Amino acid sequence: MNEQLNIHQTKVSECDLEGWPCPFRLQNELAVITGGGSGLGLAMGRCLAAAGARVVLVGRRQAALEAAVRTIGPLADYAVHDVDELGEAPAFVERVQKKHGSITILINNAGIHLKKPAVETTEEEFLQVLTTHVLGAHALSRAVVPGMVERGRGSLLFIASMASLFGIPYVVAYSAAKSAYVGMVRALATELSPHGIRVNAIAPGWIETDMSEKALANDPARRQKILSRTPMGRLGKPEDVGMAAVYLCSPAAQFVTGIILPVDGGASIGF
């Protein structure tokens, strides 16, 4: 009996089944990951690099990006960019491609969170959340898509949320933004898939990140509520989202487009 594949010890790009090429291999791919300096963005960068992709981590804080790149190794680089600067998206994409070559994968992961009662959320706060998530993702997608169309291939991946799938209190702006991703993914998939560009999303459940730990550290009741409604009875790990990203960006998902993939331990279907 074959030993179970250990993704922490074996690179996805090394897998081989009696001479068949590994369908999860990402050699010759260049992935740009926004919000790549920490958390899920960094985890996705690690997993895509393990599958052979070159990755460019994007964020506003150069020191954090430099540290993140060091944890990945020679397949990683970084680029400082603020997704809120919508008009700078074309120049940013041109800068990355001039240095690294054609962008074949874009992961729209950058975002901000706002926890506040709906009646206390101001128009300015609401608009800021929408700008970062929705308009920022659209601006970068719009900038990379023409090249993908010209080459006849590419993958856009949006990081949605449980807030895209069901109601969560005190996050009205965040829920609106992440729900907008669902519509964007379906519309873009319908429009772009005939050009060889696949568009998908991941909806992470509750994952062990620095942000979630801070949120739950002093709120045992909330932690218990989360665990009680998660059939697997635990939080996920960032790599769970990272490996889902590898799948959706790889040839293994060559006939998959327009989906929202929950990576949530069953939270979205449990009771």
Query: Which domains are delineated in the chain?
Result: 21-210+238-263 (3.40.50.720)
Eight-state DSSP code of residue 37: T
Q: What pLDDT, on a 0 to 100 scale, did the predictor assign at position 4? A: 33
- pLDDT for residue 37 is more than 60: yes
Q: Which three-class secondary structure string do you get for 139-172?
A: HHHHHHHHHHHHHCCEEEEEECCHHHCCCCCCEH
pLDDT of residue 2: 35
Least confident of 20-29, 39-48, 228-237: 20-29
Q: Is 209 or 191 the better-scoring residue by pLDDT?
A: 191
**For 137-171, how does the pLDDT look when each residue is reduced to its tens digit (9 = 90+)?**
999 999 999 999 999 999 999 999 999 999 989 99
Give the rounded percent of residues in the chain with a pLDDT score beyond 70.
92
Q: Does residue 11 surpass a pLDDT of 90?
A: no
Q: Is 78 a catalytic residue?
A: no
Is the model's pLDDT at 206 over the cut of 70? yes
Options 78, 170, 174, 247, the catalytic residue: 174
Burial of residue 177 (CB within 10 Å: 0-12, 13-18, 19+) is: buried
Q: What angle do CA 51, 56, 62 make, to 5 degrees?
A: 135
The answer to whether the beta carbons of residues 240 and 22 sit under 8 Å apart is no
* Average pLDDT value for residue range 250-269: 96
User: Is pLDDT of 259 > 80?
Assistant: yes
Q: What is the pLDDT of residue 49?
A: 97
The mean pLDDT value for 186-209 works out to: 97
Q: Is the predicted pLDDT of residue 3 greater than 50, yes or no?
A: no
- Average pLDDT over all residues of the chain: 91
Name which of 45-59, 61-75, 124-138, 215-229 the model is least confident about. 215-229
Question: What is the predicted pLDDT for the residue at 191?
Answer: 98
Report residue 15's pLDDT band, with 50, 70 and 90 as the boundaries.
low
